[in-house]
Amino acid sequence: MTLDRDSFYLDGGWAAPASAQMLEVISPHTEEVIARVPEGTPADIDAAVAAARQAFDQGPWPRMSPAERIDVVAAFSGLYAARMGEMADLISAEMGSPTSFANLAQVPAPWMQIESFLAIAREFPWEAERPGALGAPVLVRHEPVGVVAAIPPWNVPQFTIMSKVVPALLAGCTVVVKPAPETPLDAYLMAELLDEAGVPAGVVNFVAGGRETGEHLVAHPGIDKVAFTGSTAAGRKIGAVCGEQLKRCSLELGGKSAAIVLDDADLAVTAEGVKFLGVMNSGQACVAQTRILAPRSRYEEVVEAIGSAIGSMVVGDPMDPASEIGPMVARRQQERVQGYIEIGQAEGARVVTGGTGMPAGLDRGWYVKPTVFADVDNRMRIAQEEIFGPVLSIIGYDGVEDAVRIANDSEYGLAGTVWTQDKEAGLAVARQIRTGTYGINTYTMDFAAPFGGFKASGLGREFGPEGLAQYTEAKSIYLESPPM
């Protein structure tokens, strides 16, 4: 069965692209082309925005009741649940996510998002009367923000599309989705399911493409809000465009999160936690805990525990259920991660496990060895810059105050954890770390709670009522004259 496609999903149907340009989807495991799909151009974006604009300005979707929109999204949820295995396989094939992770997080988590947003939407205060300060009632409405540009990255494509499209739909917005050029295949399946669920024509449109296509979409005058997940560098450029146009935007950007190991931590539990959180999705995760902060009194114990856990991980074919680490998404990413391993060595850090070169037993594919560095100073580049691969840095600290200082000594502020047998001590640390999300002996994303970053990790929030509200404008309607 071919995975090739020859059209875009536009205005409720499959439309021919404006040019003959094609994107090649390359397996990170075999380095072979597995599919060809159209590459979006500015003309294709213009058509998609026109369809979304028409659907928002004249179509039924924004004018439906919230309950009617909820029914359509609920139908989509049921269809999605039935195809999760197929969706997971597509993501593993196109970007190399280990199938174990794909079936744990790449696809079930997006479905959980849909269900969570449905529950939130049923209780959301779409329109509520409140007493005014002047003695007369005021009606406060949450109305859709308009036409949304949704721009997900390649690392968790469905997870990041869903966090934008579902709240936008429930709010009454229309959407243009630009999937990353590395991962267009899962978006085609999603478009089919949305169409089958009965989403009206023009409400959601999909055009895959690269940087030029994305830049045209962000700057398009027909777009009211940009929702972006990706690098901090790209986020700054998008934020500048949106600021110039006074266009709404939410930006979920990079991270360099710290896992603080307190001196009473159970190292067996900590090592297993860091093993998952540090290199989840082969390290290609914005929330990865890539800085491990260890007390000087137990530093070598921590190094041994973390090094052993990471060094024992199985690297290989992402479709093999035994594989814990898959390939990097592209050759450029493999070269980037290998470059950082070389930088770490040049900076004087000690390689505990891993290092440069291909993992044993592999002679093709964009693989790197999962690597742990010890004797890392937080000022080193490997401790400050987002590597986006399976590379961890273990940094020593002197006392809890020093650990908090080091954890906060980063331009990023997305996630983090603390590991301790004293939950009150953990909570005291959690309250001091400048990040948008944090975990005590665990880390997860609860879709009923807001997710997002401090500092250079972004603007705005996804998930929870806060994430739904990002796709609305608040309007006050004064119902009567206040008493004189």
Contact at 8 Å (CB) between 109 and 157?
A: no
Distance CA 322, CA 325 (A): 9
Phi-psi label, residue 94: left if phi above 0, alpha if psi -120 to 50, beta otherwise: alpha
The helix/strand/coil state of 400 is helix
Contact at 8 Å (CB) between 124 and 142?
A: yes
Distance CA 219, CA 216 (A): 5
Mind giving me the DSSP string for 328-342?
Answer: -SSHHHHHHHHHHHH
Phi, psi of 405 (to 5 degrees): -60, -45
Instruction: Please give the torsion angle defined by the CA atoms of residues 124, 125, 127 and 130, in that order, rounded to the nearest 10 degrees.
Output: 180
What's the Rg (C-alpha) of the chain? 23
Q: Longest C-alpha distance within the chain, in Å?
A: 84
Contact at 8 Å (CB) between 289 and 258?
A: yes
What are the start-end ranges of the E strands in 377-467?
391-397, 412-413, 416-419, 439-440, 454-455, 458-459
Phi, psi of 92 (to 5 degrees): -60, -40
H helices present in 124-259, as ranges: 157-171, 185-197, 211-219, 232-245
Distance CA 256, CA 413 (A): 7
473 catalytically annotated: no
Give which of 97, 172, 64, 11 is closest to 327, Cα–Cα: 97
Catalytic site residue from 252, 324, 386, 462:
252
Distance CA 175, CA 142 (A): 18
Contact at 8 Å (CB) between 442 and 434?
A: no
The burial of 75, by beta-carbon neighbours within 10 Å (0-12 exposed, 13-18 middle, 19 or more buried), is given as: middle
Catalytic site residue from 39, 286, 324, 462:
286
Phi-psi label, residue 416: left if phi above 0, alpha if psi -120 to 50, beta otherwise: left
252 catalytically annotated: yes
Question: Would you please indicate which residues are annotated as catalytic (active-site) residues?
Answer: 252, 286
